[in-house]
Amino acid sequence: MLFHFFKTTWRAFRKQKLYSVINITGLALGMACSLLIALWVKDELAYDRFYPGYQQLYQVKYNGTHEGKMFTNPATPGPMAAALKAEVPGVAISTRISWEQDVLITVQQKAARETGIKATADFFKVFAVPMLDGNAAQALHNPSDIVITRRLAEKYFGTVRCAGQTLMADTNQFYTVAGVIENLPAQSTLQYDWVRPFPQPEPEWMQNWHSNAFRTFIKLQPGVTLASVEAGVKHIYDRHSENSRRKTALLQPLAHIHLYSEFENGKPSGGPISYVRIFTGIATFILLIACINFMNMTTARASIRTKETGVRKILGAARSRLFRQFLGEAFLNCLLALLVAFTIVQLCLPAFNSLLGKNIQLSLSPVLLTGVLLLLIITTLLSGIYPALLLSAKAPVSMLRNTINSRISAALFRKSLVVLQFTISIFLIIAILGIHRQLKYTREKNLGLDNEHMVYIPLEGRLLNQREAFRQQVLQSSVIASATFSSEVPAEINLSSSGLSWQGMDEKSDLNIFTATVGPDFLKTMNIPLAAGRDFASTSDTSGFVINETMAAILGPEALGKTLEFWGIKGPVLGIVKNFHYASLYQQIEPLILCYYPSDTRYMLVKLRGGSISAGLETVRKLYHQFNPQYPFTYHFTDEVYDRLYKSENITGTLVSYASILAIIISSLGLLGLSTFMAEQRRKEIGIRKVLGATLTHVITLLSGDFIVLIGIAFLIACPVGWLVMHKWLQTFAYKIQPGWLMFAVAGGIALVIALITMSFQTFKAALYNPVHNLRAE
Q: Is the pLDDT of residue 775 over 50?
A: yes
Structure confidence at residue 696 (pLDDT): 61
Structure confidence at residue 406 (pLDDT): 45
Q: Are residues 432 and 657 in contact, defined by beta-carbon separation less than 8 angstroms?
A: yes
pLDDT band, very low/low/confident/very high, at 322 (cuts 50, 70, 90): low
Report the candidate in 205, 221, 204, 224 with the shortest Cα–Cα distance to residue 213: 205
Q: What is the DSSP letter of 202?
A: P
Q: Are residues 528 and 539 in contact, defined by beta-carbon separation less than 8 angstroms?
A: no
Structure confidence at residue 733 (pLDDT): 79
Domain ranges of the chain: 1-47+270-406, 54-269, 461-630
Distance of CA 362 to the CA centre of its chain: 21
Q: Are residues 766 and 683 in contact, defined by beta-carbon separation less than 8 angstroms?
A: yes
- Higher-scoring residue by pLDDT: 22, 280: 280
- Higher-scoring residue by pLDDT: 59, 698: 59
Query: Rounded mean pLDDT of 375-403?
Result: 65
Q: Which of 297-311, 497-511, 515-529, 690-704 has the highest mean pLDDT?
A: 515-529
Q: What is the DSSP letter of 221?
A: P
Q: Which of 289-293, 305-309, 335-339 has the highest mean pLDDT?
A: 335-339
Structure confidence at residue 435 (pLDDT): 83
Note every long-range contact of 348-352, with CB atoms under 8 Å and residues 24 or more positions apart, other chains counting. Answer: 348/32, 348/36, 349/36, 352/36, 352/40
Q: Are residues 576 and 546 in contact, defined by beta-carbon separation less than 8 angstroms?
A: yes
* Start-end of H helices in 157-262: 226-234, 236-240
| Region for residue 561 given its phi and psi (left: phi exceeds 0; alpha: psi -120 to 50; beta: otherwise) | left
- Higher-scoring residue by pLDDT: 676, 568: 568
Structure confidence at residue 537 (pLDDT): 80
Largest separation between any pair of C-alpha atoms in the chain: 105
Structure confidence at residue 357 (pLDDT): 81
Separation between Cα atoms, residue 312 and residue 614, nearest integer Å: 80
Separation between Cα atoms, residue 530 and residue 527, nearest integer Å: 9
pLDDT tens-digit readout, 6-65 = 666 666 666 666 667 777 888 888 888 888 888 888 888 889 999 999 999 999 998 877
Find the radius of gyration of the CA atoms of the chain: 33
How far apart are the two ends of the chain, measured CA to CA in Å?
A: 36
Separation between Cα atoms, residue 337 and residue 363, nearest integer Å: 19
Comparing 53-62, 138-147, 324-333, 705-714, which segment has the lowest mean pLDDT?
324-333
Query: Rounded mean pLDDT of 304-325?
Result: 63
Comparing 75-79, 573-577, 694-698, which segment has the lowest mean pLDDT?
694-698
Model-level pTM?
0.76
Report the candidate in 272, 223, 215, 225 with the shortest Cα–Cα distance to residue 249: 215
Q: Are residues 246 and 64 in contact, defined by beta-carbon separation less than 8 angstroms?
A: yes
Q: Which amino acid is at 628?
A: N
Q: Are residues 703 and 675 in contact, defined by beta-carbon separation less than 8 angstroms?
A: yes
Q: How far is CA 171 from CA 57, 487, 629, in A?
A: 36, 21, 11
Query: Rounded mean pLDDT of 632-637?
Result: 88
Which distant-in-sequence residues (6+ apart) come within 8 Å of 575 by Cβ? 523, 530, 532, 533, 534, 535, 536, 546, 547, 560
Structure confidence at residue 405 (pLDDT): 47
Q: Is the pLDDT of residue 553 over 50?
A: yes
Comparing 92-101, 104-113, 760-769, which segment has the lowest mean pLDDT?
760-769
Separation between Cα atoms, residue 18 and residue 161, nearest integer Å: 63
pLDDT tens-digit readout, 587-632 = 788 889 999 988 888 899 999 988 788 898 999 999 999 998 888 8
Q: Are residues 317 and 399 in contact, defined by beta-carbon separation less than 8 angstroms?
A: no
- Higher-scoring residue by pLDDT: 111, 773: 111
Q: Are residues 710 and 418 in contact, defined by beta-carbon separation less than 8 angstroms?
A: yes
Comparing 162-166, 195-199, 380-384, 525-529, which segment has the lowest mean pLDDT?
380-384
Comparing 99-108, 231-240, 589-598, which segment has the lowest mean pLDDT?
231-240
Q: Are residues 771 and 683 in contact, defined by beta-carbon separation less than 8 angstroms?
A: no
Structure confidence at residue 748 (pLDDT): 86
Percent of the chain with pLDDT over 90: 21
Which distant-in-sequence residues (6+ apart) come within 8 Å of 678 by Cβ? 300, 703
Separation between Cα atoms, residue 490 and residue 690, nearest integer Å: 72
Q: Is the pLDDT of residue 409 over 60?
A: no
Query: Rounded mean pLDDT of 228-257?
Result: 82
Pairing mode, strands 57-66 and 145-149: unpaired
Q: Are residues 417 and 299 in contact, defined by beta-carbon separation less than 8 angstroms?
A: no
